[in-house]
Amino acid sequence: MKEPQIQIEDSWKKVLMDEFQQPYFSEIKKYLQNEKAAGHVIYPPGPFIFNAFNLTPFDKVKVVILGQDPYHGPGQAHGLSFSVPDGITPPPSLANIFKEIHNDLHLPIPKSGNLTAWAHQGVMLLNALLTVRAKNAASHHNIGWEKFTNAVINSISTQRSGIVFLLWGRFAQEKEALIDTGRHHVLKAAHPSPFSADKFFGCKHFSKTNEILKRQKQNPIDWGID
């Protein structure tokens, strides 16, 4: 089978090449082409679908923060879970993440919701679904993305060690089954959405993550933005 031309960082391309050659991945591409042909707007824009991979190479991953699907409002999604580009107001879940960082580490609450700085430090900001139809949350559920991102999680679990997985909410916590907890660290908490934030606050996942990294002789994450 001819190698597909996927625009993704080289280390991830090598790790995931078998997935790109699977029939289900061709079906994902076909589905997205049909969506666009029908006049639907897809988020994030094409060049940002694999942004989490392009900003955090496979061998640089230290932390994984798992989200569900991209934001479905104009200008919000740019391929990183929970993150929004500069100039976009942080959505409620992200605002609550910033509140917890402030309470945990006493860092100022940033004005920008752009988490690219985390990605550059080895925080893999992975959504289980990598695309969404505009104004229609979870609309690309069951088109194949979860099979792909499950393979991503499995690849990290089997080929790396000492990764800190932050699993917030029931959906993310179901992915624990894909993680070798003997090789990795799993921290679980409620989702930071306004519906469950009262149970998310106080989890101290950001200081706990840095304590784990320091024990492993790795640089801690600078969780500040500005």
Of 3-17, 41-55, 67-81, 132-146, the poorest mean pLDDT is in 3-17
71 near 43, Cβ under 8 Å? yes
Percentage of residues in the chain with pLDDT exceeding 90? 96
Tokens 């840095």 correspond to what residue?
Answer: 210
Say if residue 10 is exposed, middle or buried (CB neighbours under 10 Å; 0-12, 13-18, 19+).
Answer: exposed
Condensed to tens digits (0 to 9), the pLDDT of residues 87-140 reads 999 999 999 999 999 999 999 999 999 999 999 999 999 999 999 999 999 999
DSSP string covering 89-143, please?
Answer: PPPHHHHHHHHHHHHHH-PPPPS----HHHHHTTEEEEESS--EETTBTTTTTTS
Distances from the Cα of 92 to the Cα of 19, 46, 192, angstroms: 34, 25, 8
| CA distance readout (Å), 62 to 112, 134, 156, 207 | 23, 31, 10, 14
Tell me: pLDDT of 27 over 70: yes
Q: What does the alpha-carbon distance between residue 32 and residue 34 come to, in Å, rounded to a whole number? A: 5
Q: Which amino acid is it at 88? A: I
Span 6-21, average pLDDT: 95
**DSSP letter assigned to residue 206:** H
Instruction: Give the distance, in angstroms, between the CA of residue 48 and the centroid of all CA atoms in the same chain.
Output: 12
pLDDT for 175-208, tens place per residue? 999 999 999 999 999 999 999 999 999 999 999 9
- 137 exposed, middle or buried (CB, 10 Å; 0-12, 13-18, 19+)? middle
In the chain, how long is the greatest CA-to-CA distance? Answer: 53
Which pLDDT tens digit goes with each residue over 52-61? 999 999 999 9
Of these residues, 10, 59, 69, 222, which one is catalytic?
69
Share of the chain above pLDDT 70, in %: 97
Strands 164-168 and 63-67: parallel
What is the bridge-based pairing of β-strands 42-43 and 132-133? antiparallel
User: Could you confirm whether 69 is annotated as catalytic?
Assistant: yes
* Mean pLDDT in residue range 69-75: 96
